[in-house]
Amino acid sequence: MDSLAFPQELVDHIIDDLEDDPDSLRAVSLTGRRWYRGTRPYLFFSVELGKRDPLERSKQLLKLLQTTPFLVRCIRILKIRHSESSRGLSWLAKSPHFPHLLRKLWGLSTLDIQGPFLGNMLDLEALPAPLLRHLSLCNIANMDADLQRRSNTGACFPLDKIPDPPCALEVEGEHQTPRLELSGCAEALKTLLLCTASSKGGLPFLRPIVLRVGADIEDEEMHAAYKSILDLCSSTVEDYTVLEDPAANEDQWAPPPAALFEFDRFPRLVDLTVHVNYHFYEPENHPVFPLIIQGLRSLPEGRFWRNLDRVLSDSVFSKLEYVNAAEACIPLLLGNMRNISGRRGIVRVEAIDNPETLRSWEDLGLEGNMHDGGTVVE
């Protein structure tokens, strides 16, 4: 097939169009060397181990990386899953190849481990991934956090190390949002905290834009661990999710730490999602609802209006004549949008005339002039 006079540009264009069709990519990769070379970055971009014969597949993958080193730079996402066929210890505990595999994957940007996994089988000290931006740990029952005996660096996650010799990596066009997801991983989280204490460089996944945390806490130490994680990364988070395990046993369930619901610790927060189990609906006695309400009340309600005020005061909106607002918003708007409601003077804020509205304006020290159909503040 390589003897056919297909221009390389046409080959590349066809392969790019098949990016989301792995079956077709695998098929065209068998037609010739030029096709195979072009499909490798797509076929090996995301690798998953665990669902089907993970011991043998991890062995085969390691052998393939040893014989074809170029593929190392192609693997950007590694997903580790529990195998239903495992007996006793998890397949990771039985695999002699997995630590060697991790040592080779220096270009990972995403590591996603979902258990249940038991035993001290995750030797993540072997992972030299300076580009890791998305770390997800879920249902890992135990990890060895006794690091000082095992590690010269004192860190189980020395993710700031560059492989020796250093390798170049092209990441053109990749703009992955830094993410950190933690659920059911008490020991792993404690280990991660030890890592941050000894890391020489900044770890991208500890400056996440997206943060997802499970609300199920195993012990008191986890309360402190979660608070420490929040203190580390709260300044960058824009999308925050708290998730209760829907399968949690209520008899063994303990309320989550209040620190998870201190929403005001996120100065850049834009999207907030809280998934709460029903439990029983008694607002005063519900284990989570009071924490949510307290967290929402701590948010500075005027921040949105001040930001909007700053935007509308830009010269781009110099011809803005007035702003219409719902009646309930008027006190917040007038109290926080000082630029457009006060200094500029030309902006009018209109609302349906209502005694409660007028009373709110008086409390804010604003004067209203009556006119047909409403009240105008100039």
Q: How confident is the model at residue 135 (pLDDT cuts 50, 70, 90)?
A: confident
**Quick check: pTM over 0.85?**
no
- The per-residue pLDDT for range 292-335, each reduced to its tens digit, is 877 877 776 666 677 777 777 777 777 776 666 655 566 666 66
pLDDT of residue 54: 83
**Choice between 197 and 226, residue whose per-residue pLDDT is larger:** 226
End-to-end, the C-alpha distance of the chain in Å comes to 77
Mean pLDDT of the 272-289 span? 69
3-state SS of 271-330 is EEEEECCCCCCCCCCCCCHHHHHHHHHCCCCCHHHHHHHHHHCCHHHCCCCEEECCHHHH
Q: How confident is the model at residue 208 (pLDDT cuts 50, 70, 90)?
A: confident
pLDDT of residue 5: 64
Parallel, antiparallel or unpaired: strands 179-183 and 210-214: parallel
- Residue for token pair 């089988």: 121
Give the lowest-confidence range in 140-149, 176-185, 255-264.
Answer: 140-149
pLDDT of residue 136: 75
- The per-residue pLDDT for range 347-375, each reduced to its tens digit, is 455 544 454 544 444 444 444 433 333 33
Domain boundaries, the chain: 1-43, 45-297, 303-377
Exposure on the CB side of residue 272, measured as CA atoms within 13 A: 15
pLDDT of residue 227: 81
| Mean model confidence pLDDT for the chain | 67
Give the lowest-confidence range in 104-108, 140-144, 292-296.
Answer: 140-144
> Residue 292's CB: how many other CB atoms inside 10 A?
17
Is residue 172 over pLDDT 50?
no
Mean pLDDT of the 264-283 span? 75
Calculate the CA dihedral of residues 88, 92, 94, 96 and round it to 10 degrees. 180
Exposure on the CB side of residue 115, measured as CA atoms within 13 A: 24
